[in-house]
Chain A
Amino acid sequence: LAKTTQPISMDSYEGQEVNITCSHNNIATNDYITWYQQFPSQGPRFIIQGYKTKVTNEVASLFIPADRKSSTLSLPRVSLSDTAVYYCLVGFNAGGTSYGKLTFGQGTILTVHP
């Protein structure tokens, strides 16, 4: 399984854009990159997933360079409620009759200040 490396913590202020970068040097050809968000006392929540280039949804953007050895989660105009732990995961594509498995790392603690 591909191992991921992310910063342990980050600080930001309300209204700023936050970029969290994750390294996954040994990502496999059929691996997807997925980001989860976790608030205290809750289970992780899916944010965004991608395979290559750029993916955008209503919550975030995910930038993946051509070599796929890293990825960057971008949160536009963060608010206090975005304070959480963010996990980058790299895992096996669950296509067809195969199954998927995701391994969590330490995550990045994002603190948004007023």
Chain B
Amino acid sequence: EAGVAQSPRYKIIEKRQSVAFWCNPISGHATLYWYQQILGQGPKLLIQFQNNGVVDDSQLPKDRFSAERLKGVDSTLKIQPAKLEDSAVYLCASSPLTGNSGNTIYFGEGSWLTVV
């Protein structure tokens, strides 16, 4: 089974520039997450989609971050304009909704962003 795919793997941009990250979840997974992980910290949830609807975006800095999941499959996370403090790994994850199982989330390798 293919895992969660993310691209690009690495990106370096100057502050005030824009960047976009793409994610393709595991086939059939209804839920898609974007997490931000700053070096030395645990991942922080930015946004959660259920199919193509937003379930939780309470921690997404909406003045500069946006995300969409058109057609309920792959997703794009955009940052515009970027700030130095946005330097982090952006992790995409997905999970199925099956029966009464706990919510097992499968993560991609992450997209590393450095803002200079």
Which residues of A are at the interface with B, using a C-beta cutoff of 8 A? 32, 34, 41-46, 49, 51, 87, 91-97, 99-107
Contact in complex: A44, B101 (CB < 8 Å)? no
Residue of B nearest to A107 (CB): B42
Question: In the assembled complex, which residues on chain A have CB atoms less than 8 Å from the CB atom of B41?
Answer: 106
Contact in complex: A44, B102 (CB < 8 Å)? no
Residue of B nearest to A92 (CB): B103
Question: In the assembled complex, which residues on chain A have CB atoms less than 8 Å from the CB atom of B31?
Answer: 94, 99-100
Is B70 positioned at the interface, with any CB of A under 8 Å from its CB?
Answer: no
Contact in complex: B102, A43 (CB < 8 Å)? no
Task: Write the nearest CB–CB distance from A19 to chain B, whole angstroms.
Answer: 20
Contacts beyond the supplied A97-B97, A99-B50: 10 A-B pairs with Cβ under 8 Å: A93-B102, A94-B31, A94-B97, A95-B100, A99-B48, A100-B31, A100-B97, A100-B102, A104-B42, A107-B42
Is B72 positioned at the interface, with any CB of A under 8 Å from its CB?
Answer: no
Q: Beyond A44-B43, A100-B95, A101-B56, is A94–B102 a contact (Cβ under 8 Å)?
A: yes
- Main DSSP-derived SS at the A contact region: loop
Contact in complex: B103, A100 (CB < 8 Å)? yes
Contact in complex: B102, A51 (CB < 8 Å)? yes
Contact in complex: A34, B50 (CB < 8 Å)? no
Question: In the assembled complex, which residues on chain B have CB atoms less than 8 Å from the CB atom of A99?
Answer: 31, 48, 50, 55, 97, 103
Question: In the assembled complex, which residues on chain B have CB atoms less than 8 Å from the CB atom of A49?
Answer: 102, 104
Question: In the assembled complex, which residues on chain B have CB atoms less than 8 Å from the CB atom of A102?
Answer: 45, 103, 105
Bound Cα distance A101, B109 (Å): 20
Across the A-B interface, the 7 shortest Cβ-Cβ residue pairs: A100-B103, A43-B107, A32-B102, A104-B42, A94-B103, A95-B100, A104-B43
Task: Write the nearest CB–CB distance from B91 to chain A, whole angstroms.
Answer: 5
30 sample A-B contacts, Cβ–Cβ < 8 Å, listed by A number: A32-B102, A34-B104, A42-B109, A43-B4, A43-B93, A43-B107, A43-B108, A43-B109, A44-B105, A44-B107, A46-B105, A46-B106, A51-B102, A91-B102, A93-B103, A94-B97, A94-B102, A95-B101, A96-B99, A99-B55, A100-B97, A100-B103, A101-B48, A101-B55, A102-B45, A104-B42, A104-B43, A106-B41, A106-B42, A107-B42
